[in-house]
Structure 1
Amino acid sequence: MKRIFVFSYHGRETYQTGFNRLLSISEALSQAYEVHFVYGNKNRVERPIKIKGSLVEIPLSYTPGFFHNLYKNLLENGRRRFAKLLLITYYFFTGKEIFDLGSEFNKYKKKTNINITPNDVVFVSFPSIAIHNLGSSLKQEFGCKLILDYRDPGVFGYPSIEDSKLLSFLRKFFLKRRELRNLKNADLIVTISESIRNLFPEKYKNQVQVIRNGYDFRKIDFKQIKDHPYTFKLVYLGSVYNDQLQDTTFFKAIRKFIDQFTIQPQYFQIRFVGTDESIKLKDLIRSYHLEPYTSISAKMPIEEVYTELYSAAMFLHLKYGGRREIITTKQYEYLAFQKPILLPVNDHGDLEESIKNNNAGFVCNTEEEIVNLLKDCLDKHFDNQPLRIHRTEEEIYEFSRQFQEEKLMKLIEGL
């Protein structure tokens, strides 16, 4: 019987979208196959293995050490670029990542005597190149099938989020040759968009299949979507990266909107949900004196996150610097909640295309456009004419992970 081994660099405790996506994929595949979902935990694992039907969850604790603690401290102090530089430098000198899931899985294999066979499938997901290396080495050792999954183009396209030009150069210089070998070994290559597929080397483009991001259909109670009667809530979901804050047009416009129309905090709120680690965001809020109008919450389980989204009046997305090819899971969550999306500054790329093609909201370019739009939407909200984008059940389902997982299942059946 074909088994599938899915590997995630991130663990459950991170509340990372990447982890949730791979868990959802594992759960879907377990309806037809025995699935072993292997993921790294930065905290000590209390329950080593969890079995639910045909799904075996295998959390593996990363062995703590000096570099682990240094990396954590850099992240906690908002020094993400230094943390990334540490990862790349460590990889250059050791050929491993600081949080090395491959080493932890090798220990697990020796303890359990688990055997991977040529009938089995290994599914490994970027952005961790070491995870791709692990998948490639398992294929060479056991002759199994290999699926490489890319949530971003890695060494083949735009610089990773918050990479400096130096970091991007070092990443491509040291890692590209190895990743090309991984591509050569792959039986199936998947990525999340046509835009990213077009960034792959010409030799491999036709082999790359698109399995888009999507929201988790099982986690939303559509009956709870409502309009908050007293407050116009503009909600941003998930991490905010420094690259998204280089352009401050949105914050200038919000300050102008508040001053020009004497907007009181009890009537207008911006909620950043799951964004508390962004020091630059907090600095911008302070510099524009927006503290009474904003709240920032910690990362949390997605079910808790959605309690904020149910009563949103509008959703906020911020472009990712000069990158045009990024479309994240939050975009599909916004689409599913059927409230308009505001993109304050046009990315001239995938976000603009998604909003316009799905008639899903507003794409602006100037402070004046943002101010006038917000005033119009606020007036309608309090005149009992809140904006709602009505969609059919079929349309809503097509934005979901589950719809995309059906496509992935068919691709795996063909291996």
Structure 2
Amino acid sequence: MKVLVITYYWPPAGGSGVQRWLKFVKYFRDFGIEPIVYTVENPNYPILDESLESEIPKGIEILRQPIWEPNNLLSFLGKKKNESAGFLNPNPTFFGKILQYIRANYFIPDARKFWIVPSVKFLKRYLSENKIDAIITTGPPHSMHLIGLKLKQQLGIKWMADFRDPWTEIDYFHQLPLSKKAIKKHHYLEQEVLKNADKVLVVGNTMYESYANFSNNVVTVTNGFDGEITTTETELDSKFTITHIGLMNADRNPKMLWDVLADICIENEEFVKDFKLKLIGKVDESVLRAISEKNLKNNIQLISYVSHKEVVNYQKKSQVLLLIVNNVPSAKGIITGKIFEYLMAKRPILAIAPKNGDLAEILKNTNAGIVVDFNEKNELKRAILDLYSKYKLKDLVVESNNIEQFHRKELTKKVSELLNEMIE
């Protein structure tokens, strides 16, 4: 079987957006599938990680076409032109507000919309000259799905649409200054993709419940980890380290956590000496200010973006791994991709997230950590003190289980079975 994977994010892109389909492509051949990748020739990636290029299977065909991106108009987000769309500036300038309105209402579904028409033209020609059994689109950016929609409508080819994040229920959608007409168009396009795709993949049960209203072909295939689960003794950090890996933007600013940590530091001099918070990845200025206001600056270690291999080492050595879900209307359905690599590290996980959400369900089923809801300050304090007490006794361990189901190879097997089912 030959499948064409249409993706914006591909090595040397770094970050979470590239991981899912890089790993599926990596293992497809083990299940009798030959992948061909279609991606951009001149991308504008927010993060680069050239080490990921070594994971691309040798000899696979990669098609590239140029893209025009209106980056100078994207400054409405208060970001440099190569930052991700989710990194919103809550206080844009007057000019920034104008650009924000233009971007929100005229670049639908996203700023990669100008790649749709030339991609459809190029791929129609390619598909007429090469035998391909199915196409796969992955978003965001959701312009990739509109390429798939047009190819489906014009050629009738089998099509799998993969949603790494929801479309109209993504965490920052409600912050955009969308007109009623623009909102209606987003919903219409989203539903057209759902109704026309032969298979729709989603990463969590909340997304499944939402999308199942529009399609009978929705299947949950979570994200996962790639590599060996830690089984041997690892030399842990000597300090009581709590490590957060990934983006910490204004929406993901756990003020309750800073309050709790400040209270414990005031009450416990020994904790002050032992405690270290490691923030690995991009941290918004508002988060840094909130930390500074609580006099926690001396207990913070900021580490900019590092390679995936280095991230794995940080995870294995940390005493506790921290997960933060954005406190937004769609919080219940957010499953940050880091949870699966945290599972692989076999270290205790402390999550601030809805207790009735998808992430909490994963932690419960794997016995891998603790979930504290957004307003449970006293419970968060008890959880941290309990973890600290176990650290002092050199007994901070986790007895997690059922983790193997989230290995990327096992997940690729599931996707391969769905592709076979779809084509047959």
Scaled by the length of structure 2, what TM-score is found? 0.81
Are residues 1:178 and 2:177 paired? Answer: no
Measured in 2, the distance between the counterparts of 1:73 and 1:301 equals 22
Q: Deviation per CA, 1:98-152, whole angstroms, max 9, x where unpaired?
A: 3344356468669x96646674311111222211101111223333211111123
Measured in 2, the distance between the counterparts of 1:400 and 1:222 equals 13
Q: Deviation per CA, 1:40-82, whole angstroms, max 9, x where unpaired?
A: 3216x99xx9984452234555446663774762665964567
Partner AA of 2:420 in structure 1: E
Distance 1:357 1:106, change over 3 A: closer
Distance 1:354 1:286, change over 3 A: same
Partner of 1:89: 102
Q: CA deviation at 1:290?
A: 1.5
Measured in 1, the distance between the counterparts of 2:138 and 2:291 equals 35
Partner of 2:153: 140
Partner AA of 2:60 in structure 1: L
Partner of 1:193: 204
Q: CA deviation at 1:406?
A: 0.7
Aligned residue runs from structure 1 range 3-402, under 5 A: 3-31=2-30, 32-40=32-40, 41-42=43-44, 52-53=57-58, 55-63=60-68, 67=72, 70=75, 73=80, 79-80=88-89, 89-90=102-103, 92-93=105-106, 97-99=110-112, 100-102=114-116, 105=119, 115=128, 119-155=132-168, 158-161=169-172, 163-164=174-175, 166-167=177-178, 172-200=183-211, 202-204=213-215, 206-216=216-226, 218=227, 220=228, 222-223=230-231, 226-228=234-236, 230-245=238-253, 248-263=255-270, 267-274=274-281, 276-321=282-327, 322=329, 323-344=331-352, 346-364=354-372, 366-391=376-401, 395-402=402-409
Distance 1:91 1:258, change over 3 A: closer
Measured in 2, the distance between the counterparts of 1:281 and 1:136 equals 40
Measured in 2, the distance between the counterparts of 1:349 and 1:193 equals 10
Distance 1:6 1:169, change over 3 A: farther
DSSP-derived class of the 1:198 partner: helix
Distance 1:346 1:57, change over 3 A: same
Structure 1 unaligned segments of length 5 or more: list them.
Answer: none
Deviates more, 1:309-318 or 1:333-342: 333-342
Structure 2 unaligned segments of length 5 or more: list them.
Answer: none
Deviates more, 1:339-348 or 1:286-295: 339-348
Is residue 91–residue 98 contact of structure 1 (8 Å, CA) maintained in 2?
no
Q: Deviation per CA, 1:283-309, whole angstroms, max 9, x where unpaired?
A: 222221212111232233311211110
Partner AA of 2:116 in structure 1: G
Q: CA deviation at 1:231?
A: 0.9
Is residue 237–residue 318 contact of structure 2 (8 Å, CA) maintained in 1?
no
DSSP-derived class of the 1:154 partner: coil
Measured in 2, the distance between the counterparts of 1:94 and 1:402 equals 36
Distance 1:231 1:104, change over 3 A: farther
Measured in 2, the distance between the counterparts of 1:153 and 1:138 equals 22
Measured in 1, the distance between the counterparts of 2:339 and 2:243 equals 12
Q: CA deviation at 1:254?
A: 0.7
Measured in 2, the distance between the counterparts of 1:85 and 1:352 equals 39
Partner AA of 1:230 in structure 2: S
Q: Deviation per CA, 1:329-350, whole angstroms, max 9, x where unpaired?
A: 2112222222221124644322
Scaled by the length of structure 1, what TM-score is found? 0.83
Measured in 2, the distance between the counterparts of 1:282 and 1:253 equals 16
Measured in 2, the distance between the counterparts of 1:209 and 1:325 equals 15
Q: Deviation per CA, 1:219-243, whole angstroms, max 9, x where unpaired?
A: x462566252521111112122322
Distance 1:103 1:294, change over 3 A: farther
Partner AA of 1:179 in structure 2: E
Measured in 1, the distance between the counterparts of 2:82 and 2:293 equals 23
- Taking only the aligned residue pairs, the percentage that are identical comes to 19
Deviates more, 1:75-84 or 1:29-38: 75-84
Partner AA of 2:367 in structure 1: N
Is residue 367–residue 400 contact of structure 2 (8 Å, CA) maintained in 1?
no
